[in-house]
Each structure stands twice: as structure tokens, then as C-alpha cells.
Structure 1
Amino acid sequence: MAQVRIGHSLSDGEKNYLCGRKLSVQKCLVKNNIPCTLSTVPNIAILGSGGGQRATVGMLSSLYQMGKQGLLDAALYMSGVSGSTWCMASIYERPNWSSDIKQIQIVAERLGHDSVSLMDRVYHLVKYYRENKNFSLTDVWAALVVPLFVKKIDPSTLSNYQTCHDKDPYPIFTVINQDCKYGNLLRESFFELTPHEAGYTLAGAFVETSSFGSIFNNGVLKKKEPEMDMTYLQGLCGSAPADNEVLLKILKEWLEGKMGLDGRVMQVNIDVKNSTDQKEQIQTLTSDICQSFFDWIKDWDNSSVSEELLVFVKTFEKVTEKPPDKPVDGNLSINAYNEPLKTLIDLVKELLDLLWIWGTNYNCLQNMEAPGVNHMLLKSETSHFEDAGLLVNSPYMSALRAEREIDLIISFDFSDGNPMETVTKTLKQCKDLGISFPAINVTESDVASPKSFYVFKGVKKAPTVIHMPLFNIENCGSNLEYYRQKYSTFQGPYSPEMIEELTKKAGENVINNKDNLLREIESIVKQK
């Protein structure tokens, strides 16, 4: 019978995996004229930040060039946030992909040219709706939106990776507990999912990944539920709209632009940072936006997107042979009507009723007695998870888990805005949590005109951190701001031409810094 494991040690599965992977690391370093024994093999982690499709393509190109330059097998771990996890899920579809980097090219080709039909996406949404007892907007996001970017619906599961990736870096997908984030519980917010275990990175509570989402009581499995598929996991990891302020901003812009509302919702106030009762204010703002939507929908015949919406409604009716009869939280009950407009309005109303319900999963820690684990994690029946980039846009905490003993972090940063924010924000969090992290000294010039390669040397127990911003003065020159604006986070899927251009920019960062990477790796080996 599966049980919750309270503790900070690595799982036996991860330990065994790493033993095999270290052989690949040793061979890679010897090929690069860095002799080392198994006992001096450095623990290197590759991190990928969030950034939507920009991060997906950027991470894909970075990994391809790492492989082409003979550096990819130096990595023991790979961890991602948000858009980088979309890349990870895509490449880990193929067993031992890092041994044949042509498989990365296959994924890149798919991103630029393939598509997933609306019919297939709606079928998957209905599947989630009928099977997931904790249906939330994450299901909708995962089924309808994520496949538009990754160009595939992936029914496999993360636990499948246990046996078919023995020659690849060990993958870590990261999210955060939304309830803990809102409750200002920083240590308890960080959550990770690996092929073997899912759990709280710093708080130290884990279950087998195949049992994540199942019903536990007092730490013991009571009812097994199906493991989430990789499409849902990508939706969970990349659910930036789960943040109320971000969601309202996206929705407002979509209603104004896509639907041509001509400023009818321009007066909606989306600045809720200082609200003492955020949920109540969100409800009010949602009501305003909904009213604008319904005012617009009355003008159905004149709408520029009426055909698109009608296609969605008819597709939904076609795949729903009979109305799903399972309510969700007593609110959601999607019914298929003969009259398309009524169907659409009802569907929109019901989905917006769930506006702040994202990432709902059964809480595996319910009713446990677990000394050292905050009581907030032990009392609720469900927990809510969201995009880790909403807390810090890079998965540093997964690499800073003490038991992983990481010596060197290679961080590919695809964030928008301040290119140094992930390292400076992580430093602040580490100080608050008592975790060793190198000193971060950056200038105004580093923020305005970043270089392509930074090294922050670790001392004592802190790892050395290599920080590589995607757009920098070396690969963009005087066009830095142009590229930042062209490849924004919240925009539709990139064209093949955009993907090709972005691939080149990201790849240049690795090509131009091969010698720098090898120098830092050699330095770590000498220290060991």
C-alpha cells in the first residue's frame, strides 16, 4: 500500500538512476579533456526558466547545441519551469533522446509545422471533464491551449520515464502550491515532480509519482486515481493564467483585441496587488468583464469571430454524445444545447465561475501527523497547484535541495523583463530560507544590456551558478529591445520563421560560450 514519505532523502529510484547517469557524465568529461573518476564527477544541473513558447523554443535550441558541442551529457539533472517544461515533456517522449540529438530536431520541426485539431482538443477536454473528479481550469488550459504550442496531445505519464531514460539527465518538473503562496509559506510553496516521486521540495513530504492525485488519509493511500497524463502536467506546469492578476490581464486584452470590444472593458481595474480581499474584488472584476462579453455576444451576426466560435460550439456538441452528468464543486454542469449561442454563453459562464479554481488535486497529506511540516498542509482535502514561474521564474530550489549536492548550475534564462531577476530573487529567497547561494553582483548595465554569460562563484556549500540570458548584447547587438518585444510571453503560437530565428539566437549563446562552459566545469572537477 502506497504511503506518504516524510523526509528529505532522495528516493531509491532517483539514487539508482543517478548511478547509471554518472557513467555518461564521466565519459563526456573525458572526451572533453577533463579527466575525472566517478568519485570526482561533478553534479551539474541544467535549468530552464519560464517564458511561454519563447522558453520552449529557447530551451530546445540550447539543449540541441549543448549536444552538438559535446556538453549535454555533462548534466546529471535537468529541471524546468513553465515553458521550459513544455520543451522537456516534448523531448522526453523519446527514450534516451540525449544520445541522439536528431530527436531534438524532430521536435523542433513539429513545433514549426504540425498542429492539433480543435476536434482532438475538445475530445481531450471532455475526457478530462468526465474522468477528473477535481476538474478545474487547468484541465481546460491543458486540453485546449497547451497543444496549440507543443503541437501534440501526449497521453503518457511521468512515471513511464523511470525505465526508458537511463542515459538522459534526470528530469524534474516544478510547480508551486498556490494555497501556500497566498498564505506566505515560502518553504512549503515549492513542489516537484520526478519520474519516481512527487512532493514538497523543501518541506520534505513525497508520494510515488504514479499515486500523485490519488486519495490519501493519514498518509496511507485509500483510493487510487489515474495518474495525470503529460498533457495535463504541461498544463499544470505552464499555468501562468492561474494567477488572478495575470489571468485578468490576459482576458482583458483578449476581449479588447480579439473580440473588438472597442474599449468597452478599458476601465476594468486589474491592479489587485494591495487588495485586502482579493477574491471579492476578482469576482467584481470578472462580473464586469462577463457583462462586456455578453454585450458583445448579442451582436453575434456582426462579430468578426462568430464563425470561429460557432465551430467550437458545434465541435463541442459533436464530441459530447450526451451531457456529462458529473457536477464539479456543485457548479459546473456543461450541457449540449441545440442552439449554438445558448451553448456558448452557458459554457463561458460556467468556466468563468471557476476563474480562480486552478490545479485542484487531492491533498496527499490530509490528516497526517508530520512533525516539521506546516499544519496548513495537513488539514485540507485538496490542494491547488500552479505555474512555479508565478513565484520565481526558474527552478533553482529543485537544484538547491541539499540532498542533490549540486556543484554547478547552468541556467538558461528566457524570462521577459529584467534579465537578472531570477538570480537576484532566488538570492533573496535563499537568505529568507537559510539556503546557501552565491553572491549576485549585477549593475544597471547588466539589466539594460545583459551579456550572454555570467558566473557567480559558490563558496562553502553554495553551488556555482552560470546564468545565460536569452537576448543579450552579443546575439542581438543594438536590436535587443526589438527581439524582446517581438517574442513576448503572452502571444499565439510562433510562425515557422519566428521559431527558426529564435532557435538561432538561443543556439548562439551556447556556441559562443562553449569554452567558458568547459572552463567552469573543469574548475568544479579540480575542486572536487
Structure 2
Amino acid sequence: MPSKSRSRYTASSDWKPRTVLSVKIVEHKELKFGLLNTKKPFVTVNCPWLEKKQKYSTLVKNEPSAIVNETFRFVIPNHLLAEKQLVEIMVLNEGQITIQTLATFELDALSLEIGKTLSKTFVIDKQSGELCVEFLKYVQEKPDYRSSTDICIEEKKFRKQRMPKVKDAIEAVFNDARSESNLDFNLEQTPVISVVGSGGGYRAAIGMSGGMAALKDAGVLDTLTYAAGLSGSSWYLCSAYAQDGVRNETQDEYHKWLQRQMEQSIKETVKSALKDVFIPDIEYSELKASKEEFNQPNGLVDLFGYTVGKSLLDDKISHTMSQLRTSVADGKVPYPLFTSAHFEGDIASSEFRVHIENTPHEISMPRFGVNIATKHFGSHWDEGVVTRECPEFPLHYYIGSCGCAFSVLGETFMAYGSEADPRLLAWIDALKQEDFQPPSDTMANESRQTESKKGGLNLAKIPIIGEIVEKMASDRTSVVNRTSLVNNVFHNLTEELPFVYDDPADRADLLCPDVQDIVRKLGPRYQKDVDRENEHFSVCDAGIVQNVNVEPFLKTSRFSDLIIVFDMNGYKSDEDFDYMPIIQSAVHASRNGLPFPPIQVKRLVHEAPAEFLVFEGSIDDCPTILWFTLCNKNFKEIKDYEPKIPFDETMNDGRPFNDFPVYSSGTNFGTIQFEYSELHFQQLHELMYHNVTSCMPYIKYHIKKAVERKIRRQERDVQNGP
């Protein structure tokens, strides 16, 4: 393990116990309605003395009797524990014109004995049926979220199953007749290897498929412990795991299926989902109805995720994140992790953001050491207590929330081209100049003003719609909400949340030397607290500010000895890679006191586009990062290249299959391109496949070095003792 640090926050002792009132609607029997009324009964439960919103439960449609089993919870403040605690329950029926009140009941919960359930049957008039309710008052000792920066028990169990398979795979790579050297290591000395994909829409998903295919064919896929992505690469992983396309035996067929799915234009899916109210898309209408029933927000990002999900998930469109547990239950494939982020509506993500790690078992916000059971992400919360459990989000929700880049703050994007910190951008611009000096705050501010003017778009002057557009540009949630809104886990939470990242000064031995100046200037990670007042908070594409996120594998809990990155970022042209994802990854990691291998930034900003870069530290507590791109330089120079699909040069404007631009003028691979022919899919797939395969000796060499580093660390830890 890497050296220990104070970021290992594991206690939840700051959370004070709460007294909770639980009201469970068990069933209703023989409800009777007027002849002209439709049969849509529902129940409201309200505690007006708490000043909480009513909790609605749609019981059943078109049936007078039904089992309900839905529970509502209310957190009782200490100063009201001895006061009258009146619970109001109303049974209503939604008619065609009006809502009919069938009955109203009251119960004083003050008389309830702590920890003892009271079952009560309320008679709804003598001839109109019954309502069965259970009341329970109890003291909750721990919050419904888990407070820790460590991984959950289920993920630890996965690793216990996975690591012997990783060890066997590494041995198989090296201990054969073709290998120049054998490796001798035990299970504890087996390195953790992770693959991380970037954003980039369908381009990223296809590039990810080529990289994963190359690893599979070389026998390296089975050496991975984790597979992670954001935005477009997370789409690939969501689809691959849902469609059982990750295993060696199924990957080839899955990629053929994926290619066919990407030939379909998502325009047709959008049209289907947005048909008029008389002929709605049934699945999307059911999704909207479910969220409305449970008072969950629904918006543009939900539609976007559903639209992409219809293509990439197909018959698994209703799968949930929790269902991916079956894919990893036996430890035969890497553990998936999808990155999103919490931003605030009108604050640039460079100033405030909270990364979110989405896995089959938990949704985690490591900045605060808060981990939510996947099934509870989206449920209603109050003071750390789940007050109403909602159905788990479908997998296509994560396709939207992890990959919806139009959440970008418009005015910041137009001024700087991204939501990266303007001081960081000014620093990089200065590095590109021949006489480099670190920019001052004044230089950064002047740069911001200059760039803003260079944008040439004064929104306020746009006729008629200027004010609306300006609001949308300055706030993600104004006019049209461009984020995914979920129920706020921090709602009404009074406890101080821990700040669990390290101060860079405490980890000077791990700081990337070439970025120390900007790290000192930017200071420690954003200290702003989360919003606790609003019932909802925003979840967005993390790629808006950082299009590759390796931080989950730099921390102690998932520390990876070797990280393989597939970078499908949207670079300026095939001749101009600014390598911003690498620089941002190094800066943000160093800023948080996390070990990122040294990079030579000044050299990197002048570096010609390359297929493969290596970043390696000089100490055993720092991972090695192998960085692959979609640079089409060596690939297009291959003479008489034979593609894996039928091809003639008329299909590619008279050029060979492997001669095409990825980013420059004439490209067919734009970030917002959502329809790929077989040719264009295969070109990108085979490009990344070639770039990774041609460097496979280097990958294996660094796997060997990762084993050696892990051996040295284990021996050091044994020598130093616990």
C-alpha cells in the first residue's frame, strides 16, 4: 500500500443519533368510489408540526384493494420530542375532474413506545373499506450513508475473488515460452492495474472498444482489477457490462453488436420519445410517470440518457446499476466505475465541484467521505436519513448524468473553451511562450477579460431572446435545466462534513515537481460546503472540466500500481494536441496530495501528437501511467493495410482505409456525432487497437515493473510493521 495519510477518514461519530417516526402504509381493502370517479386512490401522510412536505403514495390504479408496503419516515428534532406529534393521514381518489377525499385519520405519535411497532386498521366509513397502517418510532444511531474513504465490503469481496485471477493472468503473460523472463510473486505482491477511459461521445466509446480489444487479444484484459470511464467511455462500459460484453469469450460478438447499434441514428429515438401525447414512447413515458409518482425531478438529461441508452443498452434499457453486480459476482471481469460530478448552477466547476464515483454497490463522494447504497441514490433524504425509498435509477440515467456535456456553463465555455481554472489556462499559455514566467493573479484576470472579449458574443445584445440566452449561459439550471437533478443526500444535514483530501504540503515527496508552482498558486482543493437547503442537487458530466479522471486509482483505497489511459479527447487537430487532460490530471492530483508521476509540462505543451506516452515515478508509492491517444500517425503510414471489414478505396474518398483525419477538417468523428457507419466505426476501433497493440511490449514491461514495485512495497511494509 502507498504511505498512509490523514485522508483515511473512516469515522461517522460526528453524526448525532436521530429519533425517527416511520409510517408504513401496508394495504387498503374494499375501497368504494362514486360511479363517475376513476379508481386512482392514493394516501398522503403529513406531520404539520414538523413543517415537512407531505409524502404522497400512489397506492394502486383500477383496483379497490391492494398491498402497498410503502414507508415514509420523519426525523423528529430533539426539542419536539415531548410535544404533541400529530400524524395526519388522508385517503383520496383522483377523479376525472376533482380529487375526492374518502377519509381523514389522525394519530398522536407521542404515545408510541420507542422500538415497538403499532399496527392500526382505520375504517373508511362503514361501507367504504379499510386502511392498514404500521407506526414505529425508533432511534437511528448511524446515518443511512456510509462515512469512510475506504471501499465498501462488497468491493473488497470482489477484490478477494479477482486478485487470484489477476495473478494467474500476469503469470500467463510472462511465464510462457515466448517470454524472456519469468516472474515469481505471491498474491499479496500482485499489482492492481486499472484502465481509465476519457470523454468524447461515441468517438470515446469506439476508441474504448479498440483499446479493450487490444488488451484482450494480448492476454492483458484479465490482468485488470478496475475499468473506469466518464462521459463517452462510461457509455461503452455501461453497455458492455449490461450486454455481457466484457469477458474474453463475449467481447468480439459484443463489439460487432455495438457497431450495428451505432449505425442507428439517435434522431429517431428522440422523435419517438417526443411524440405527441396521444402516441407517446411507452418506455420513456413509464420512466417519467415513475419519477413523478415518487416526486423525483425529471428533465433534459433524463431524455438524453434514455435516447443514448436506447441504442447502447437496447433490451437492457431498464437494467439498473445494481444489476451489474451479477457481472462481477465471480471476479472474472474488472470492477466497473463511472465518474460524474456535482456542480452548482451558476458557479464554474473550476471553482466548485465534487466528483462522484458510481459503482454497482455504492455511489460515493470521496471528497466528503460519503457513500450511498446504489439503490438509495435518488431516494428522499432528510438529515442523513432516507425518508422515502424510491425505485433505483435505470442504467441509462447514468449514461445521461455521466455523459451529458451540454451541462457546461455557457459563458465560461465561450470565454475559455472549457470550465478549467482560468489561472491554470493562463499558466499553460505562459508555458507555451519562449520566456516563461508563472502568471500572477493580475495576469490571469487580464487574460480572462481579454478572452471574454475575444469571444465576440455579447449575449445581452441578442434581440428578444438575449436575456433568456444570457440566463442560460450563466446558470446551468436557469430556463432549461441542463443538469440531472437528484434528491439531495445532504438535505438539512447539520453536521460538519469532513474534508478528507490531503494538503499538498503534507505530501511533498509525491508532488509532481513541474506543477508545484501552479499547485501553490491554486491552493488546496475547493473548501466550499455543499448545499444543504435545497431538496435537489445537480449531477453532470465530469468531463466538463477534466476529461480524464484517474484520481479514484491514486487514493489509498484503490491505489493502482499501473494505470492505462485511453484518451479520446477532442483535440484541436491531428497536428495539435495540447494534452490538457494529462496536465489537468497532474495538477488536480497534486493539488489534492495524491501521487501522480512527474510530467515535464513545458515540454508536453510543445510535444508533437503521439500515440503513446509514459509517465513514471521514481518512488514505489507512485503509479506508472501509460497514456494512449487516437493519434493517427503511424497507423496511416502502414502500406497495404488489410482492415477487418470488406473495403475498397471508393468508400474512403479514394484513400486507403487507414488514411483519415480524426480531428482535422473533414473528420467523421466529431464529439456530437451520434451515427457511425460500419466503415467509420471500424476505422476508429482499429486505430486505437493498432496504437495499443504496437506498444504491447511496453505495456508488458511496465506490468513487470509494477510487480517489482509491489514486491518492494510489501517487503518494506513487513519490515516497518503495522
**Range into which the TM-score falls when normalised by the shorter chain:** 0.7 to 0.9
Give, in angstroms, the shift of residue 9 of structure 1: 1.2
How is 1:115-126 mapped onto 2 (pairs within 5 angstroms)? 118=269, 121-122=273-274, 123=281, 124-126=283-285
Which residue in the other structure is 2:433 paired with?
none
Match of 2:651 in 1: none
Q: Give the 5 Å matches for 1:124-135.
A: 124-132=283-291, 133-135=296-298
Gaps of 5+ in 2: 1-139, 175-182, 275-280, 415-447, 453-457, 470-475, 500-527, 572-576, 639-657, 711-722
How much does 1:408 deviate?
1.0
Match of 2:663 among 484, 494, 506: 484
Structure-to-structure mapping, 1:222-261, within 5 angstroms: 222-245=387-410
Contact 1:211 1:224 in 2 (8 A): yes
**If you compute each CA radius of gyration, which structure gives the higher value, 1 or 2?**
2
Question: Equivalent of 1:14, from 152, 155, 166?
Answer: 155
How big is each residue's C-alpha offset from its partner over 1:148-187, in whole Å with a ceiling of 9 and x where there is no partner? 5666762101111223323111100110111299266868
Deviation at residue 107 of structure 1 after TM alignment: 3.5
Matched position secondary structure for 1:376: coil
Cα 1:155–1:120 change in 2 (3 A) is farther
Pairing 1:373-522 to 2, within 5 Å after superposition: 375-417=529-571, 418=577, 420-441=579-600, 449-458=608-617, 459-476=619-636, 482-485=661-664, 486=667, 487-522=669-704
Asked whether the equivalents of residues 345 and 477 of structure 2 are also in contact (C-alpha less than 8 Å), the reply is no
Matches of 1:48 and 1:287 in 2, distance apart? 42
Task: Give the secondary-structure state (helix, strand or coil) at the position aligned to 2:344.
Answer: helix
C-alpha distance in structure 2 between counterparts of 1:44 and 1:463, whole Å: 10
- Quote how far apart the aligned CAs of 1:492 are: 3.4
TM alignment of 1:302-321, pairs within 5 A:
none
1:401: how far off? 2.7
Whether the aligned pair in 1 keeps the contact of 2:348 and 2:412 (CA below 8 Å) is: no
CA distance in 2, matches of 1:387, 1:205: 19
Contact 2:340 2:540 in 1 (8 A): yes
Letter matched to residue 23 of structure 1: P
Aligned to 2:333: 168
Deviates more, 1:407-416 or 1:447-456: 447-456
Read off the aligned partner of 1:155 and give its amino acid letter: S
Secondary structure of 2:540's partner?
Answer: strand
How does the TM-score come out when normalised to structure 1? Answer: 0.76
- Calculate the aligned-residue CA RMSD, in Å: 3.4
The alignment status of 1:70 with 2:219, answered yes or no, reads yes
AA partner of residue 134 (structure 1): P
Question: In the alignment, what sits opposite 1:154?
Answer: 317
Describe the superposition over 1:340-369 as per-residue Cα deviations: whole angstroms up to 9, x where unpaired: xxxxxxxxxxx9974244110011122221
Structure 1 residue aligned with 2:233:
84
Counterparts of 1:83 and 1:466, CA distance in 2:
20
User: What's the TM-score once normalised by structure 2's chain length?
Assistant: 0.56
Matches within 5 A, 1:327-338: none
Partner SS state of residue 232, structure 1? helix
Q: Deviations over 1:278-303 (max 9, x none)?
A: xxx979869638999xxxxxxxxxxx
More contact order relative to length (CA 8 Å, sep ≥ 6) = 1
More helix by share: 1
Q: Does 1:104 align with 2:258?
A: no
Are the aligned partners of 1:44 and 1:77 in contact in 2 as well (CA < 8 Å)? yes
CA distance in 2, matches of 1:464, 1:248: 32
Q: Which residue of 1 aligns with 2:354?
A: 189
Q: How far apart in 2 are the matches of 1:423 and 1:196?
A: 29
CA distance in 1, matches of 2:569, 2:231: 11
Take 1:396 and 1:198, find their aligned partners in 2: how far apart are those partners? 17
Q: Are the equivalent residues in 1 in contact too, given 2:337–2:357 (CA < 8 A)?
A: yes
Once residues 468 and 546 of structure 2 are traced to their aligned partners in structure 1, the CA distance between those partners, rounded to angstroms, is 34
SS of aligned partner of 2:564: strand
Preserved CA contact (<8 Å) 2:380 2:386: yes
Per the alignment, do residues 184 and 93 of structure 1 end up closer, same or farther by CA in structure 2, a change over 3 Å counting? closer
Of 355, 360, 371, the match for 2:480: 355
CA distance in 2, matches of 1:445, 1:6: 39
- Given that residues 238 and 395 in structure 2 are in contact (C-alpha distance below 8 angstroms), is that contact kept between their aligned partners in structure 1? yes
Change in 2 beyond 3 A, CA 1:217/1:450: same
One of 367, 379, 382 as aligned partner of 1:202: 367
For the structure 1 residues 476 and 381, does the alpha-carbon distance in structure 2 shift closer, same or farther, using more than 3 Å as the test?
Answer: farther
Secondary structure class of the residue paired with 1:98: coil
Alignment coverage as a number of residue pairs: 445
Partner SS for 2:628: strand
CA distance in 2: counterparts of 1:182 and 1:515, whole angstroms = 45
Q: Identity of paired residues, percent?
A: 23
